[in-house]
Amino acid sequence: MTATIIITICLLLLFAYVFDVSSSKTRIPSVILLMLLGWGVRQAVYFMEISLPNMESVLPALGTIGLIMIVLEGALDIEINKSKRRIITKSMAISFLSIILISIALTVAFQYSDPVGLTDAIVNAIPFAIISSAIAIPSARNLKTDQKEFIIYESSFSDIFGVIIFNFIVLNDHIGLIQSINTFSFQ
């Protein structure tokens, strides 16, 4: 069992390296290829009826660590100082507005296509509205420095705002303006 786990991890690292090297040629972010590989492996495991250990308790932590590593890798290429205040403010505003506008549009679409509750529609819309830094930062590798910085800031803020808004909606059964904001701020 241990040998199988070690071989699997090594193969995944090799695939990740191959995808990272080939992403500059194919212009497909390595994260998307890894997601497709994971989906394909999962389908093969179901088809061959192989039993897997339950990893649901570990996956959120691994996902968070992976996202932090991607954002930190992208942040290594940028320098934060007072002259960057304009681009930071602009990227923050655009990321917030895009999440709000896309979430509203998708919420309306979800409610129109299938009559669901407003909260359920919003909770399902928010993840689609987030511009994931896991995909945006590696994709910005070949852009000019100022464009790359904007993508890094904007996608990082999008992740942060998306998680905050998602948690705000999920953690509040009844959303009253003052009480919900106070409770969420305290938490």
Cβ 53 vs Cβ 115: under 8 Å? no
DSSP 182: H
> For position 175, what pLDDT does the model report?
66
The set of residues, in sequence order, having a beta carbon less than 8 Å from that of 52 and lying 6+ positions away, is 45
Q: What is the pLDDT of residue 167?
A: 80
Tens digit of each residue's pLDDT (9 = 90 or more) over 117-156: 888 888 889 988 988 777 777 777 778 888 888 888 888 8
Q: Residues 179, 118, 98, CA angle at the centre, nearest 5°?
A: 85
| Distance, CA of 182 to CA of 187 (rounded, Å) | 9
pLDDT of residue 99: 92
Q: What is the pLDDT of residue 72?
A: 74
Query: What are the residue ranges in the chain where pLDDT is below 70?
Result: 1, 74, 77, 173-177, 179-181, 183-187
Q: What pLDDT does 35 receive?
A: 84
* C-alpha to C-alpha distances, 171 to 80, 132, 152, 180, 184, nearest whole angstrom: 33, 22, 28, 9, 8
- The pLDDT, as a whole number, for residue 81 is 80
| pTM score of the predicted model | 0.69
* Residue 79 CA from chain centroid, whole number: 23
Of residues 139, 138, 155, 165, the one with CA closest to residue 91: 155
CB 129 within 8 A of CB 157: no
CB atoms within 10 A of CB 174: 7
In this structure, is the dihedral angle defined by the CA atoms of residues 28, 91, 76 and 68, taken in order, positive or negative?
negative
